[in-house]
Chains A and B, each alone.
Chain A
Amino acid sequence: MRLLRRRSVGESARPEAEPYLAAGADEARRLGHSYVGTEHVLAVLVRNRSGGATRVLEELETSAAQVEGALACWLAPSKSKIDPEALAALGIDLDAVRERLEETFGPGALEETRAACLGICPRLKRALLSALEHAEGNPLGDEHILLGMLSVPDCVAACVLAEFDVSLEAAAAVVATSSE
């Protein structure tokens, strides 16, 4: 997603983590949120029912559906930063504005600006960095992202998982046994 390029985690993380960041960002944008956080990435992980994170959670007797349920209150849709409906109430047609801007500045110009850009929660950055450490040079998988998020104890994903007694220690033990 283009919104993240300028202040990409690339600066602090690695390209391997980018697909997770991009998927989380898509989720955030779909909900009209102005930032992407661990809750968005966790939602992506548990939606992948055959993924490594879902498997680890199942070993810990937590289903993906349960986690999705607990995440729901964090993932309520909201109005995006530039809300077309609110502008329409002022008599401004955002589509028309966008069209004019694209004539001069090219396709997607408006979305590329810092003002329309999604912020990245610092805890998500830390979680992604930590995920790379957990992967220890192996291809980065869903389970490593899960461990990364559990390594940042105050992030939303870790708080949600704590409701199901999913701790870093427990999850790391499952990942270690399954990779043996």
Chain B
Amino acid sequence: MAEPSEVVAQTASDDPEVGLSGVASLRALVEAVEELQVRRARELGWSWQQIAGLLGVSKQAVHQKYGKGERKRRSLR
């Protein structure tokens, strides 16, 4: 495990290439984790409203993003 100061130093890396691919990777990781969490919450019966509230986005936004995939998965079953 890196020391906190070391992490900070690396975060502020001088090399934009490292920094930018870190940002892109973080974004992709966030998307992936969000998808897993939203899908599971829905399977556990959570409402779009509840999910949106915790994600800090509008109900419409979260529904638009994940609602379609959910209908597809259901029809596959």
Q: How far is the CA of A83 from the CA of B32 in the complex (A)?
A: 13
With an 8 A cutoff between CB atoms, is B67 at the interface?
no
Which of A6, A86, A110 meets B32, CB within 8 Å? A110
Q: A86-B18, A90-B10, A91-B2 are in contact. Are A101 and B26 (CB under 8 A)?
A: no
Q: Mark A103-134, 1 if CB is under 8 A from B, else 0.
A: 01100011001111000000000000000000
Q: Mark A90-105, 1 if CB is under 8 A from B, else 0.
A: 1110100100010011
Interface centre among B11, B28, B72 (most CB of A within 10 A): B28
> Which positions 1-22 of chain B face chain A at CB distance < 8 Å?
2, 7, 10-11, 13, 18-19, 21-22
> Which positions 21-38 of chain B face chain A at CB distance < 8 Å?
21-22, 24-26, 28-29, 31-36
Shortest A36–chain B CB gap in Å is 17
Q: How many A-B residue pairs have CB under 8 A?
A: 67
Q: State whether B32 touches A105 (Cβ < 8 A).
A: no
| Interface residue count on the A side (C-beta < 8 Å) | 22
Q: State whether A91 touches B28 (Cβ < 8 A).
A: no
Main secondary structure of the interface of B (DSSP, over half): helix
Q: State whether A83 touches B35 (Cβ < 8 A).
A: no
Taking A82-B25, A105-B40 as given, write out 15 further A-B residue pairs in contact, using a Cβ cutoff of 8 Å, ordered by the A residue number. Answer: A81-B25, A86-B22, A86-B24, A87-B29, A89-B13, A89-B18, A90-B7, A90-B10, A90-B26, A92-B26, A104-B36, A113-B36, A114-B69, A115-B29, A115-B35
